[in-house]
Amino acid sequence: MVDDLKKGLEGVLVAESGLSSIDGDEGRLIYRGYTIEELARGASYEEVVYLLWHGHLPNADELESFTAALNEEREVSDDVLATMERLAAADEEPMAALRTAVSMFSATEPERDADPEDLEASLRKGRRITAKIPTALAAFERYRLDEEPLDPHPDLGLAANFLYMLTGEEPDDIHAETFDQALILHADHGLNASTFTSMVIGSTMADIYSAVTGGISALSGPLHGGANQDVMEVLKEIDESDLDHREWVEQATDEGRRIPGFGHRVYNVKDPRAKILQERSKELADNGEDKWYNYTTTIEQYLSEEKGLGEKGIAPNVDFYSGSVYYQLGIPIDMYTPIFAMSRAGGWVGHVLEYQEDNRLIRPRARYTGPQDAEFVPLDER
């Protein structure tokens, strides 16, 4: 038995997967063999979820059937809506509200008595979760604004429909396409903390609702899912400062302040997803306000070239540009991580079901470092 300690399981192979692959040195991400650039620019989020779940891109008939099935599952129960309203009134965190909503979805699951080993039933449950998350999230935000939630729009895809339910207005093509791309970019990313959490839960043959709820819980931690929110907070701080944005970043780094959105556990070069979102940020800037794009590009240039982070393998990750892109789309800052979860649900479901096809309970061990021969003292003598 190997006794080497690998803190955080770094570099430890625990499973095989056909869903996604990352080359951190080349800055390459693929889903099922397709580069993220090809998928982001040529496919829809629905197509990508189908790819992750079924192993191939859908043809026109398959996509139509899959999209129709998702659309039929968008509505959430009155109990879920009432809970979202109460949580909004209590000023609950959006990620906690989402965790509660997904857990509640199982109460109306028509196949909740299905055998845990019936992976086709689990896949249908995963489809319902993926379809309902946008509705519950948008309802929570509407309640926070003292507005009634909107019913899903029958003629809009998942991305555009979420923006509609969130804002009350149908998004234009640029906004809808940008958000759809963002969902694609976040759909899967290897065995990150939240995906692995979902797989651990799935390995017990718990239902897919439990696995996705666990994924949401893991993603809510600040070391995993909140960096894009941190990036936007910094950009707003720059905007409110009396300093020019270049002067601000120079002063901040001279003071030893870390700028969020730089560096990644896997990538040693610029995250390929960041490159795509940078392009979308530029397009949004060309059609509206350009200061956020100017801020991010200036920071990247200064840190990468003049501070030499690029030479050290510390480059912009996806969060560095997703924060400003979401802000340009009119999305509240504390909704960024829940949107991450909304997208990643497709990856969580895919990984759990893939693992369960050849399931083995995930059960690592820890090296014991406590005392060996402690003497027990009865309670009345302590």
Cα 216 to Cα 75, 90, 175, 244, 343, distances in angstroms: 20, 20, 26, 38, 11
Note the helical H segments in the chain. 36-42, 45-54, 60-72, 78-89, 94-105, 119-144, 158-167, 173-185, 193-203, 208-219, 227-240, 245-254, 272-286, 291-301, 318-328, 336-356
Cα 357 to Cα 15, 50, 350, 378, distances in angstroms: 12, 18, 11, 50
CA distance 126 to 207: 10
| DSSP line for 190-246 | SS-HHHHHHHHHHHTT--HHHHHHHHHHHHTSTTTS-HHHHHHHHHHHHHHSSS-HH
**To 10 degrees, the CA torsion angle through 317, 318, 324, 329?**
180
Q: Which pair of tokens denotes residue 353?
A: 């079901």
Question: 190: which residues sit within 8 A by CB, 6+ positions away?
Answer: 17, 20, 21, 22, 266
Rg (CA), the chain: 22
Q: Of the residues 186, 189, 264, 351, which is catalytic?
A: 264
Q: Of the residues 230, 245, 319, 351, which is catalytic?
A: 319
Is 290 annotated as catalytic? no
CA distance 275 to 40: 11
Is 4 annotated as catalytic? no
Do residues 335 and 141 lie in contact, with contact meaning Cβ atoms separated by under 8 Å? Answer: yes
Angle between helices 158-167 and 173-185 (to 10 degrees): 120
Do residues 124 and 105 lie in contact, with contact meaning Cβ atoms separated by under 8 Å? Answer: no
Residues annotated as part of the active site: 264, 319
